[in-house]
């Protein structure tokens, strides 16, 4: 295993499933649940109301979807609180002519996941109660990642030249979180430093912030195994 991943007790799993969606899972393993047991949850954990028809390519042509999964240290199950909890952030993109806008799903927030999956983006959500819940969850997620990395984030997220797989997912979280933040709000200090570092990179930043959705595709095949973490951004 990559020594950085070993230090933080993290593993990656890559798989393909419904609607050409491609997933990366990051597991925290210090909760005592064997990795082989966790693998048995796939792919049911992300299926909303067990309705696979919602994931047909015709309805959801969104391409890649990175997923960051943090599991409860105590139960290994979904918990709503961020301390020792499971949170799934799903980032989706789609062509503007199909009505999609970059957004996210959090499984554990109880109400948003079905709305996001079962609808194209609704601008009214920006001021709704549900989007406020999402914004709160994003802040808790960012704070948790800040504590998780504890000042030694850079080797895990950035190899000096390129983003790692974990870095790419984290940056997606930052970009998405920015969408929900109010004026005057800032990222936690550790992630703010990472955000600025990546933003200064002529290689990574334009790729991840392009208005052209066709350019916003992480090269997921490069993240398929743990020993290939240090990958390139196209």
Q: Tell whether 37 is covered by a domain.
A: yes
Tokens 């990175």 correspond to what residue? 66
Residue range(s) defining the domain that contains residue 181: 3-228
Q: Tell whether 103 is covered by a domain.
A: yes
CA distance 181 to 211: 19
Predicted confidence at residue 218, as pLDDT, reads 33
Q: Tell whether 81 is covered by a domain.
A: yes
Reported as a pLDDT band with limits 50, 70 and 90, residue 40 is very low
Q: How many domains does the chain have?
A: 1
Among residues 177, 164, 173, the alpha carbon closest in space to that of 204 is found at: 164
Q: What's the whole-number average pLDDT of the chain?
A: 38
Between residues 203 and 42, the one the model is more confident about? 203
Mean local confidence (pLDDT), 66-74: 35
Mean local confidence (pLDDT), 220-232: 25
What is the pairing mode between strands 10-16 and 22-28? antiparallel
Q: Tell whether 219 is covered by a domain.
A: yes
Q: Tell whether 142 is covered by a domain.
A: yes
Predicted confidence at residue 18, as pLDDT, reads 27
Q: Tell whether 233 is covered by a domain.
A: no
Reported as a pLDDT band with limits 50, 70 and 90, residue 185 is low
Predicted confidence at residue 194, as pLDDT, reads 59
CA distance 170 to 168: 5
Q: Tell whether 223 is covered by a domain.
A: yes
Predicted confidence at residue 134, as pLDDT, reads 45
Cβ neighbors of 23 (< 8 A, separation 6 or more) are 14, 15, 16, 17, 46, 65, 66, 67
Q: Tell whether 234 is covered by a domain.
A: no
Q: Is the pLDDT of residue 166 over 60?
A: no
Q: Is the pLDDT of residue 167 over 50?
A: yes
Tokens 């930052």 correspond to what residue? 174
Predicted confidence at residue 191, as pLDDT, reads 54
């Amino acid at each position: 295993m990559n020594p950085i991943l070993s230090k933080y007790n993290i593993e990656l799993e890559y798989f393909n499933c419904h609607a050409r969606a491609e997933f990366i899972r990051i597991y925290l393993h210090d909760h005592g649940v064997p990795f082989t047991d966790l693998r048995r949850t796939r792919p049911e954990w992300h299926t909303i109301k067990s309705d696979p028809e919602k994931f047909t390519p015709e309805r959801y042509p969104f391409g890649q979807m990175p997923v960051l999964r943090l599991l409860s240290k105590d139960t290994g199950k979904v918990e709503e609180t961020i301390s020792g909890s499971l949170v799934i952030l799903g980032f989706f993109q789609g062509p503007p002519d199909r009505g999609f806008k970059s957004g996210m799903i959090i499984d554990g927030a109880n109400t948003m996941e079905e709305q996001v999956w079962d609808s194209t983006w609704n601008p009214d959500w920006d001021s709704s109660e549900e989007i406020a819940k999402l914004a709160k969850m994003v802040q808790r997620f960012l704070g948790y990642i800040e504590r998780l990395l504890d000042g030694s984030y850079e080797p895990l997220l950035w190899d000096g030249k390129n983003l790692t797989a974990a870095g790419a997912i984290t940056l997606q979280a930052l970009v998405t979180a920015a969408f929900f933040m109010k004026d005057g709000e800032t990222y936690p200090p550790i992630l703010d430093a990472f955000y600025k570092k990546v933003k200064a990179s002529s290689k990574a930043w334009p790729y991840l912030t392009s208005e052209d959705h066709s350019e916003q595709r992480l090269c997921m095949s490069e993240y398929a195994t743990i020993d290939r973490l240090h990958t390139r951004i196209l």
